[in-house]
Amino acid sequence: MTAVTPACQLLERQPEDYRDWLWVAPPEDPWLNDQSGSLWSTDLNVAQAWRERGATVYDDLAPAITDVPGAVLFWPKAHALGEWWLLALCAQLPEGTRLQIVGENQGGIRRVLKILAALGLGCRRLDNARRCMLFETRLGRVSLAPDDAWTTFEALDLQLASHPGIFGHGKLDSGTALLLDNLPESLNLAGANILDVGCGDGVISAWLARQGAKTTAVDSSSFAVEATRRTLTANGLSGNALQSDVYSALPEGERFDAIISNPPFHQERAIDYSPAARLIREAPRHLEKSGYLILVANAFLPYPDLLEATFDGFEILADDRRFRVYMARKR
C-alpha cells in the first residue's frame, strides 16, 4: 500500500530492505501494513492493529526484544519523549544495532543531531523530503537510563509521577484543577465506585481515592498507566490502573457510580474527537442508575450536542471561558 503520512512517504522511497526490522512508535499508515518486522509502541490502538495482522508486538516500557537487524524510530513532537525512546533502545537492543530516526521538520527532527551527539552516538543524514528528515546511527551504551526520564511534582497536596509521554507532563492541568474544584456535593465520594478515563499522571484517581472513593483508572498509553500506578503508590493510596481503549479493558457488566474525565482530543498534532465521543456515547452502559458522567473540556469542543443526544440533558458546573465542566446523569 502507498504511504500517506510524510514520515512513511520518506521511508517508502528508501532503497533499504526493512525486512524483520523493529518499528518504534510508528503512526497508523497503510504502508506499514505491508512491512514485515515487529512493533514497539506504548499506544494501545497501534499495538492492537499490529497484533491483528500477526506481528510480534512489544507494548510495555522495558520489553525483552529479540535481536533485530535494525530499528526505525518515529520521532515524536515531544523532544523529551524522543530522548526517552533513544535511551530505551540503547538499553534494550545490542550495541551496534542500526537505528534510523525519521520525523517531520515541524516536529523538531533536526534536534536529533544534538541529542545523539550529547549521548556520544554518531549520526549521518540519509534523506530529506516531504518536509521530513531521515537519520541513521548505531546504538551503544550510554550513561543515562530510561528511568531517569521519570520525575515527580507536587499538586493538590499529592506527589505526582510524570513522564514526557503523558498529557500535562510535570504540571497540573488547569482544566483538571477546575474539574476537581467543581464536583457536585450530591456525588458522595466516600465509598463511591468511580472510573477515571484518560488518567494521565493519575491526579484525578489519587485525589478521588484520598476522599475515600474506589477508583479505576484507564488510559490507552502505557506511560499513563505506569504513571498512575506510581502516583497511587507514592501517596499510599489504592486503585486499579488499566491500559484500555476507553472502556475496552473493563470487565463485562461492571458499573460505576460516576465516570470522571479530562478526555484527550489530540493525537500528536491532529485533533481527534473519537475517544471523547465514545466516552460520552457509551457512558450509560457503564453507569449505575442515576450515575454521573462528569468531564472537563476546552470550551470550543463540540461536546454539548453529544451529551444532549446521549443523556437527554446536561448541566454546566463551571465555565472559566477556557474550560467547561459538564455533568450528565443517567436516568
The full set of domain ranges for the chain reads: 6-146, 150-329
Could you read off the pLDDT of 203-228 as tens digits, one per residue?
Answer: 999 999 999 999 999 999 999 999 99
Please identify which residue in the block is written with the cell numbers 522495558: 62
DSSP-assigned states of every residue in 247-299? TTTSPTT--EEEEEE----EETTEE--HHHHHHHHTGGGGEEEEEEEEEEEET
CA distances from 21 to 2, 18, 36, 103, 274 (A): 19, 5, 7, 18, 31
> Does the model's pTM come out above 0.75?
yes
Superfamily holding 6-146 = Vaccinia Virus protein VP39 (3.40.50.150)
From first to last of its 331 residues, the chain has per-residue pLDDT tens of 899 999 999 999 999 999 999 999 999 999 999 999 999 999 999 999 999 999 999 999 999 998 899 999 999 989 999 999 999 999 999 999 999 999 999 989 999 999 999 999 999 999 999 999 999 999 999 999 999 999 999 999 999 999 998 988 999 999 999 999 999 988 999 999 999 999 999 999 999 999 999 999 999 999 999 999 999 999 999 999 999 999 999 999 999 999 999 997 645 455 667 889 999 999 999 999 999 999 999 988 889 999 999 999 999 999 999 999 999 999 8
Residue 241 cell numbers, joined = 490502573
DSSP-assigned states of every residue in 137-184? EE----S--GGGG-EEEEETTEEEEE-TTSTTTTS--HHHHHHHHT--
We find that the CATH architecture of domain 150-329 is 3-Layer(aba) Sandwich (3.40)
CA distances from 82 to 23, 71, 77 (A): 14, 14, 8
SS3 197: strand
Please identify which residue in the block is written with the cell numbers 520525523: 103
Could you read off the pLDDT of 75-131 as tens digits, one per residue?
Answer: 998 999 999 999 999 999 999 999 999 999 998 999 999 999 999 999 999 999 999
**Count helices and strands in the chain by DSSP H and E runs:** 9, 18
CA distances from 131 to 3, 6, 75, 127, 234 (A): 15, 7, 14, 11, 43
- Determine the Cα–Cα distance for residues 316 and 325; give it in Å rounded to an integer: 6
pLDDT at 268: 47
- Determine the Cα–Cα distance for residues 226 and 207; give it in Å rounded to an integer: 17
Whether 6-146 shares its CATH topology with 150-329 is answered yes
Give 261: exposed, middle or buried? Use CB within 10 Å, 0-12, 13-18, 19+.
Answer: buried
